[in-house]
Structure 1
Amino acid sequence: MPGARAIGEALARRTGIAPFVVGRPEPVLNKGWREELDAALPALRQLQARFDDVLASGAVSIAASSRCAVSLATLPTVARHHPDACIVWFDAHGDLNTPEASASGYLGGLAISGPAGLWDSGLGSGLNLDRLVLVGQRDLDPFEQDLIDRHAIPHVKARGDVASELRKALAGRPVYVHLDCDVLNPGVVPTDYACEDGLSLAELQACCEVIAEQAFVGIEIAEFQYAWEPGGEAFSPDPLLDALAPILTR
């Protein structure tokens, strides 16, 4: 959560808009997905209420979140207010597992499948898989790959002309963005998870320029760490936000 706070404060400096804060830092549980979800539900429901207010007003939603599991709350709300929106999911991982399919029981790995109605998170669903575009995934479990293949989910891989491939996948649709910072090459920004052969900031910016050509619904920025190591010097989110500028400054 300190990383999410740092992004919120940096955005406040850029826009003059004070962030609306949901939740507070809590000790890590390191338990199964069910216990972690139960503990997070009060804050996630508060976040859903905030998203309802923002999206009902017609505003673009800009959010910084701690973990990808927060999308269990945000994506059903986006789907309810913008059923035609395409969800562009930037991430090194698929996050398409269900509780039954997950080998690790990691809650964040269920972040899309709950909103897609593949299991009941208690936070709603409504996201159709034909509205999903994956970008940068390179660590997929067999269940996730099978789901991608069966539903023909567009998967823009982190090589080649990523921006051009993304433009084809979007096909002119409105866009909501989820950005897990581990979609980037290790060493670009601090993240808990490092997966080689990711995007550069220049490639991320090129993708944002493509997204800016569409109607833009909002963005959630997840998994940005405050420092390279616990207790280390704070790392500025400004280079990341500069890459996102084509959609943040619309």
Structure 2
Amino acid sequence: MMKKHISIIGVPMDLGQSRRGVDMGPSAIRYAGVVERLEKLDFDIHDKGDIAIGRPSKNEVHSDGNLKFLKAVTEASEKLASVVDEVIEAGSFPLVFGGDHSIAIGSLAGISKHYKNLGVIWYDAHGDLNTAETSPSGNIHGMPLAVSLGIGHPDLTNIGGFAPKISPENIVIIGARSLDEGERELIRERGIKVYTMHEIDRLGMTKVIEEAITYLKDKTDGVHLSLDLDGLDPSDAPGVGTPVLGGISYRESHLAMEMLEESKLITSAEFVEVNPILDERNKTASVAVALMGSLFGEKLL
């Protein structure tokens, strides 16, 4: 049998948020042994290295109203979209390491070119559905899902030359427990499916993932997993910039990844917001690598 191919793309981006250090996330994930772990699962791994991220000057912080570092984030997103596009064209699975969650703008721009009905599982404490008008901070890492829906600044929504990248009915958010009012309104208006921590506690992770798979499998031709490590509880993943108490457990997350692997739905993935400066002995990067093991078929027996 031919080996399955995974292409790793690092995006050392820290401009989408306000806490430095998350640009070292890709290095921390590699240091935690991701290549060796996936090679043991009989994958052919091609690490394409890191995309170069420009360093803007201080006067670019609010270069466009309430959007911080718009030009630099746009340029990085274009670069990432191009690399992801090439990886899929070559028949490889794109596995993207962040960096802050603004990188999903580029990931989805590159991926969605190859699918008519791309599904997205957004595993995150946050909705990331803000715009310049609704964001309390102006941080673009709180906007990538809205941008991918075609909502937001045109420089961001038109990455790759088209918009929108995804449809609201093809999104499932899992683990939400911190939503701004504008995000709540958008979720209600667009009918986006959300499993908050209330649903996870009440239904259990098995039921949540079963329902998510059923919801997506017949109407999508590919599913992208966008996993923010702050979706997990801070006790399990402390090295994130925007931790929120009461999150998904380490074991629940492994179960979710194992079930997604069994479903064979996932066609691309990214793991974001690993910040080694805020971490405890690279714990969060190690958690990310362990979850990747489960996503790609690692079994105890």
TM over 0.5: yes
1:72 is the counterpart of 2:109: no
1:163 is the counterpart of 2:196: no
Note the C-alpha offset of 1:181.
0.7
Note the C-alpha offset of 1:245.
1.8
1:13 is the counterpart of 2:52: no
SS in 1 for 2:121: strand
Q: 1:91-134 CA distances to partner (integer Å, 9 max, x unpaired)?
A: 11111012222232111111111111112214143211111100
How do residues 1-250 of structure 1 correspond to structure 2 at under 5 angstroms?
Answer: 1-9=23-31, 10-14=33-37, 15=39, 17-24=46-53, 26=55, 31-32=61-62, 34-119=67-152, 120=154, 121=156, 122-123=158-159, 124-125=162-163, 126-158=165-197, 159-160=200-201, 161-171=204-214, 173=217, 174-189=222-237, 190-212=239-261, 213-228=263-278, 233-235=281-283, 237-249=285-297
SS in 2 for 1:237: helix
Matches of 2:281 and 2:255 in 1, distance apart? 29
SS in 2 for 1:113: helix
Note the C-alpha offset of 1:187.
2.4
Tell me if the contact between 1:179 and 1:222 (Cα under 8 Å) persists in the aligned partners: yes
Aligned partner letter, 2:80: L
Matches of 2:251 and 2:282 in 1, distance apart? 23
Matches of 1:162 and 1:233 in 2, distance apart? 28
Matches of 2:264 and 2:124 in 1, distance apart? 21
Q: In angstroms, what is the RMSD of aligned CA positions?
A: 2.4
Q: Give the total of aligned pairs.
A: 248
Matches of 2:57 and 2:194 in 1, distance apart? 32
Structure index of larger Rg: 2
Task: Name the stretch that deviates more: 98-107 or 181-190.
Answer: 98-107
Aligned partner letter, 1:166: I
Q: 1:4-24 CA distances to partner (integer Å, 9 max, x unpaired)?
A: 222134222333543421125
What's the TM-score, normalizing by structure 1? 0.88
Tell me if the contact between 1:91 and 1:135 (Cα under 8 Å) persists in the aligned partners: yes
Matches of 1:97 and 1:46 in 2, distance apart? 23
SS in 1 for 2:276: coil
Note the C-alpha offset of 1:25.
8.1
State percent identity of aligned pairs.
21
Tell me if the contact between 2:127 and 2:179 (Cα under 8 Å) persists in the aligned partners: yes
SS in 1 for 2:227: strand
Q: 1:113-167 CA distances to partner (integer Å, 9 max, x unpaired)?
A: 1111112214143211111100101110111112212222111122321231122
Structure 1, unaligned runs of 5 or more: none
What's the TM-score, normalizing by structure 2? 0.74
- Seen in structure 2, the aligned counterparts of structure 1 residues 193 and 236 have a Cα distance that, compared at 3 Å, is closer
Matches of 2:231 and 2:28 in 1, distance apart? 19
Segments ≥4 residues shifted beyond 6 Å:
none
Tell me if the contact between 2:77 and 2:103 (Cα under 8 Å) persists in the aligned partners: yes
Matches of 2:56 and 2:76 in 1, distance apart? 15
Structure 2, unaligned runs of 5 or more: 1-22, 40-44
Matches of 1:6 and 1:147 in 2, distance apart? 34
Matches of 1:117 and 1:24 in 2, distance apart? 24
Matches of 1:135 and 1:72 in 2, distance apart? 19
Tell me if the contact between 2:81 and 2:111 (Cα under 8 Å) persists in the aligned partners: no
Note the C-alpha offset of 1:233.
4.7
